[in-house]
Amino acid sequence: MAVIGTGLIGTSVALAAAGQGVSVYLSDRSRAAARTAAALGAGRAEDPPEPVDLAVLAVPPSRIAEVLIAAQERGLARAYTDVASVKTGPERGVLARAPEPSRYVGGHPLAGRERSGPLAARAELFRGRPWALTPHRLTSRAALDRGLELAELCGAAPVVIRSREHDEVVALTSHVPHLLASVMAARLRDGPAGVPLLAGQGLRDVTRIAAGDPRLWSDILRSNAAAMAGVMKELRDDLARVAAALDVLAEEDASAGEDVFAEHHDAGHDQGVRTLEDLLARGVAGLAGLPRPGAGPPVAEAGLRILVPDRPGELARLLGAVAALGIAVDDIAVEAAEESGLRVRVPVPTADAERIGAKLGADGWDRAPAESAPAG
Amino acid sequence: MAVIGTGLIGTSVALAAAGQGVSVYLSDRSRAAARTAAALGAGRAEDPPEPVDLAVLAVPPSRIAEVLIAAQERGLARAYTDVASVKTGPERGVLARAPEPSRYVGGHPLAGRERSGPLAARAELFRGRPWALTPHRLTSRAALDRGLELAELCGAAPVVIRSREHDEVVALTSHVPHLLASVMAARLRDGPAGVPLLAGQGLRDVTRIAAGDPRLWSDILRSNAAAMAGVMKELRDDLARVAAALDVLAEEDASAGEDVFAEHHDAGHDQGVRTLEDLLARGVAGLAGLPRPGAGPPVAEAGLRILVPDRPGELARLLGAVAALGIAVDDIAVEAAEESGLRVRVPVPTADAERIGAKLGADGWDRAPAESAPAG
C-alpha cells in the first residue's frame, strides 16, 4: 500500500495498516514529515519497487485530482482512494482528467483530532467510526473492494453513499458546525477579563473543533462551499430572527426600568419570547435525530409503577435499587404525588418487566395502579 | 437553610447542603417537585418553623426579585442568595423594591446538566466548578459570607465579581454559545437521511447544550438580552463575511467546471480564501485564552533536543520513553530532518531538564545540538 501525505490522517491510516502487517510506502511534500511517519513505524519513506494494490491520497480536497492524476501517470497502484472530507469536487476532477478513473473510489473516514501532523497520528483513530465510500459511475468493483478492505483494516464501519449526498450531509454535520465553532471561538479573543474564570464545559464543547488547522480547514470549507450555502442561509435567518427578538426584549427590559412587577404583556414582548422558545424547542427536536453514542437499537418498553412513601431518602433508595438492577436511572419519572406517596414510573424492557417487578416487590416496594393524572 | 425552587439546581444545592448535615426546608410551585426533592433526601418539604440563616432562590432570572420580595415580607431568612445565570436584572429589582436589599447577594454556580427537574439533581454537581457571587452596593458583609459559605459547602470555587461584568462574561461564555448550539441543532431536524450515519463527535459537542429546557433558557436569554446584543452583532458580521466568501468560492468552483488544474487566481478567490483563513485563525487564537481543564499554572520550560535515527519505530520508542517519564507526548515536535536522523524537541520543565536529559542519555538517546533550521 502507498500513502501520499503523512499528516494526521495519512499517518494514522498507515499505522493501522502497518499494524496489520501490510507493507506501507510513505511519501509527503515534506520529506521530514514522511521520515517522521516512518520513524513512528507507519512504513517506509520510499517509493514502492512495483505497483501496489492500493494508494491512499491523504492530501487536502483541492489537491486530490492533481495528485491522483500524477500517481496514475506513473502507474503507482492498481486502485486509488482518498480520505478528504469533500467528495464531489475531487470526483469531478478525476472523471474529467484521470487516465484511469475506474480505479478510483472516493473515501472519507469520519475521525480526526484538533492536533495535526504525523506526531498526532494514532493507529486506532478510526476504530468504530463511520468511513464513507463514494463510488462514482465508472468505479470498478475491484476499486470499491479495496476501499472497503481499507475501512475494515482500520476498524471503521464503511458507509457507501453518493458523493453529492455525502457532501450535503457533511456540510450539515461537520463543515457548518466547524465554522460556527470558529466564529464563537473568535469572539473569545478580546473578551472581558472574567472569561477564563467563568468559562465552563459548555463553551469548551461548542468551540472544541475550532482548534483544527486553519489552512486545511479553509481548503475543506471552500471545497464544499456550494453544499454549505443552503445550511448557512437557514442558520443566518434563524440568527437574525432571534437577534431581532433579543433587541426587542432588551429595550423592554430597559424601559421597564425598576418596575420588577411590570407585566410586560405587549405584543412585541410576547412575539419575542415565542421566537426564542420556538428556536430553542427546534434545537431540542433536532438533537433527537442524533444517535446517542453507545446506544443500542430501541427496545419495547413497559412502565413499572412504584408507590414511594415520601419519607426523606425513600426515593433515593428506590433509585439505588433500580440502578442495582441495571436500569438507567435517568429515565425514571415521578408521575404523580398522591396522599399515599409519589407514584414513580420506572421504564423497563417489556421482556424483563415481570422479573424486575417481582424483584422490586420482594424488596418491599409497592406497585402502584397506573390511573390518576400526572403531577404538574 | 431554605431552598425555593426544587429543580435541577435547587435540589442539587439542597442535596449538597443536606449531605453536610445542614437542615434544609424545600418549597416549589409544584408540590410534587418539592416532595420529590424531599424523597431524594434533599430536606423537608415544609416551611421552616423560624427564620433560617440563608434562603436560596432557585427560580428563573425573571422571577428572582418578586420571589425574594415575597420571602423577605414574610421574614423567611436572615440572608438571601440565588442561583440564576443572569445577575443585573434581579439585582436591579431587589435594589428597587426589596424590603431589605442588604440581606441579598447574587449568586450563580457555573454547573448544569441537559436534563432538568429534581430527579436530575446531584449533590456533587458543583464540585470544582466556579460559583459567581455578585455583591451589590448595599450587600452586607454577613450576606456575602453566607454566599461564600454556600459555595464552599457545595465544593465550588467562589468568584466575586460585579453583576454587570458577570452578565457580559456569561453572555459570551454561556448564553450566545447556547443560542449557536440551538441554531445548529435546529438545522438537523429536516436534514438529509444520511445525517445519523455520518454524524460524529464534533457535531455532538457543538450541539450538546442545545438540549437544555427551552422554557428556562428563553427566560435566561431574554433576561440577558442587552449583554448578548454586542456579541451577537460581531458574530453575525463574521458569519455574513464568510458566507459571502463561500458564495464567491462556490461560483468559481462551478465556473472552473472540469478544469482541475485551473489556477483560480483572480482577486475574488484570493480574497475569499483570506477571509476564511482569517476567521479560522482567529478561532484558534480565541481558544488559547480558555483554561485547559486540569491544567495547572504554566511552568518554565526548556527544550531537550534528541537525535532520533530514522529507523522504523525509533521515534515511537522515544515517545514511549518520554511518556514513561510523565511528559506530555502531545507537545513533542520534530524540528528538523538531518542526514543523521530526526532532531526532536522534547519540552520539559526547566527544573527537571537535567534529570530527564540524563535519564534519556542513559537509555541510549543522543542529545542533538540546537542549531540548523527547522523542517518545513
pLDDT digits (tens, 9 = 90+) for A189-200: 988 888 988 988
State the first-to-last Cα distance of chain B, in angstroms, to the nearest integer: 63
User: Do B56 and B48 form a contact (C-beta atoms < 8 A)?
Assistant: no
User: Do B58 and B13 form a contact (C-beta atoms < 8 A)?
Assistant: yes
Contacts of residue A263, defined as CB under 8 A and 6 or more positions apart, other chains included, come to none
pLDDT digits (tens, 9 = 90+) for B350-362: 888 889 989 999 9
d(CA A104, CA A281): 44
d(CA B287, CA A210): 8
User: Do B40 and A334 form a contact (C-beta atoms < 8 A)?
Assistant: no
d(CA B166, CA A104): 56
CA distances from B46 to B38, B119, B367 (A): 9, 19, 72
Share of chain B above pLDDT 70, in %: 93
Burial of A24 (0-12, 13-18, 19+ CB in 10 A): buried
Mean pLDDT value of segment B299-303: 80
Burial of B106 (0-12, 13-18, 19+ CB in 10 A): buried
Phi, psi of B187 (to 5 degrees): -65, -25
Residue A10: all three cell numbers together: 495519512
Q: Residue B52 gets which letter from DSSP?
A: B
The verdict on a CB contact (< 8 Å) between B169 and A222 is no
Mean pLDDT value of segment A158-167: 97
So where are chain B's domains? 2-161, 238-288, 301-372
Phi, psi of B296 (to 5 degrees): -80, -175
Mutation to test the B interface, candidates A284, A292, A319, A343, most B Cβ within 10 Å: A284
Phi/psi region, residue A103 (left: phi>0; alpha: psi -120 to 50; beta: rest), is: alpha
Q: Please determine, looking at this structure, whether the domain spanning B2-161 carries the CATH number 1.10.10.10.
A: no
Inform me whether the pLDDT recorded for B376 exceeds 70: no
- pTM equals 0.88
Phi, psi of B6 (to 5 degrees): -105, 55
The verdict on a CB contact (< 8 Å) between A161 and B253 is no
pLDDT band of A144, cuts 50, 70, 90: very high
Q: Which amino acid is at B98?
A: A
Mean pLDDT value of segment A137-165: 97
pLDDT digits (tens, 9 = 90+) for A286-301: 998 887 766 556 677 8
pLDDT digits (tens, 9 = 90+) for A284-337: 999 988 877 665 566 778 889 999 998 888 999 999 998 888 888 888 889 888
Question: For residue B373, what pLDDT is reported?
Answer: 46
pLDDT digits (tens, 9 = 90+) for B213-236: 999 999 999 999 999 999 999 999
User: Do B159 and A197 form a contact (C-beta atoms < 8 A)?
Assistant: yes
Q: What is the CATH number of domain B301-372?
A: 3.30.70.260
Min Cα separation B351/chain A (Å): 26
- B188 interfaces chain A, CB cutoff of 8 Å: yes
DSSP calls for A96-121: HH-S-GGGEEEEEE----SS-SGGG-
The verdict on a CB contact (< 8 Å) between B40 and A250 is no
Determine the Cα angle at B296 with ends B295 and B297, to 5°.
125
The verdict on a CB contact (< 8 Å) between A184 and B177 is yes
CA distances from B45 to A123, A359, B8, B14 (A): 55, 30, 16, 11
Q: Residue A365 gets which letter from DSSP?
A: P
